[in-house]
Amino acid sequence: MAIWQAVLLGFLEGLTEFLPVSSTGHILLAGHFLDFESPGKTFEVLIQLGAILAIVAVYFRQLLAMVCALPSDQRVRQFAVAILIAFLPAALLGALLHGFIKDVLFETPVLICWMLILGGIILLAIDRMSLAVRYDDVMDIPPERALGIGLFQCLALIPGVSRSGSTIVGGLLLGADKRTAAEFSFFLAMPTMAGAFAFDLYKNWERLHLDDALPIGIGFVVAFLTAVAVVKLALDFISRHGFGLFAWWRIVVGVLGLAALAAFG
């Protein structure tokens, strides 16, 4: 693997992981057109750790305060339960369908492109709706609403849908404002991505080789640095401007992908 490919894919991972544009879709399409293939998608899996650590780093003080308050603060305990409940549906379904997702869905770039386009259209529609807001603080989302958001996250098992996109849309439809829906998606990303990373690493451990260490390390660092910048900027941008930019981003990438597939295969 060329170093520039590692840099590009690491940048794409960090840039897109926490935005509603589908990091998996972007990485898989880029790998397809660059003719890059890692056994068992080990490269793509391992650089996700950079994005996971990025969001932990940005929220470290808040996470530490929550952990310290967990034994005595009912509100913090309810939030922790809500995140756990939201995490479970996609975790269980992803484990059951892991082989089909990796061997079939991940190898279907046409599907990815159409999911990018469809998701963009849905984001445009949601962004223009006047939805009733019941929750403007991520700590106030109750467990039953969190379960609904978790069920929406299951849609992201289809590459191109977007984990953050599906959870944000679910949060909006279930009463959160834009900033709160995005922030809940960030918190939910931590156990979801960490679980997916650990499961994929377990499944593909024997496919790792020492020769892969340098490109994986470069991709990891680039993904971490890019994701830190994105997480710090995303909430304010979404609060002020909504999701229109991301919706059109998805549509353009999906259309260009379909055109490239038609031209080059």
- Which pLDDT tens digit goes with each residue over 122-161? 999 998 898 999 999 999 999 999 999 999 999 999 999 9
**For the chain, how many residues are written?**
265
Q: What integer pLDDT is reported at residue 196 of this predicted model?
A: 85
Q: How confident is the model at residue 2 (pLDDT cuts 50, 70, 90)?
A: confident
For the ranges 35-49, 115-129, 158-172, the lowest mean pLDDT is seen at 35-49
Rounded-to-integer distance, Cα 186 and Cα 181, Å? 9
Q: Which two tokens stand for residue 261?
A: 């597939």
pLDDT in tens, 72-105: 999 999 999 999 999 999 999 999 998 898 889 9
Q: What integer pLDDT is reported at residue 39 of this predicted model?
A: 61
pTM summary value? 0.90
pLDDT in tens, 200-256: 878 777 776 766 778 888 999 999 999 999 999 998 999 889 999 999 999 999 999
Residue 249 CA from chain centroid, whole number: 16
Within 137-177, residue ranges assigned H as helices are 143-153, 163-173
For the ranges 17-21, 30-34, 178-182, the lowest mean pLDDT is seen at 30-34
Q: Answer yes or no: is pLDDT of 41 > 70.
A: no
Rounded-to-integer distance, Cα 95 and Cα 148, Å? 19
Rounded-to-integer distance, Cα 211 and Cα 208, Å? 9
Nearest-CA neighbor of 152 among 85, 249, 247? 85
- Across 40-49, 233-242, 255-264, the highest mean pLDDT is recorded for 255-264
Rounded-to-integer distance, Cα 187 and Cα 163, Å? 12
Residue 61 CA from chain centroid, whole number: 22
Q: How confident is the model at residue 15 (pLDDT cuts 50, 70, 90)?
A: very high
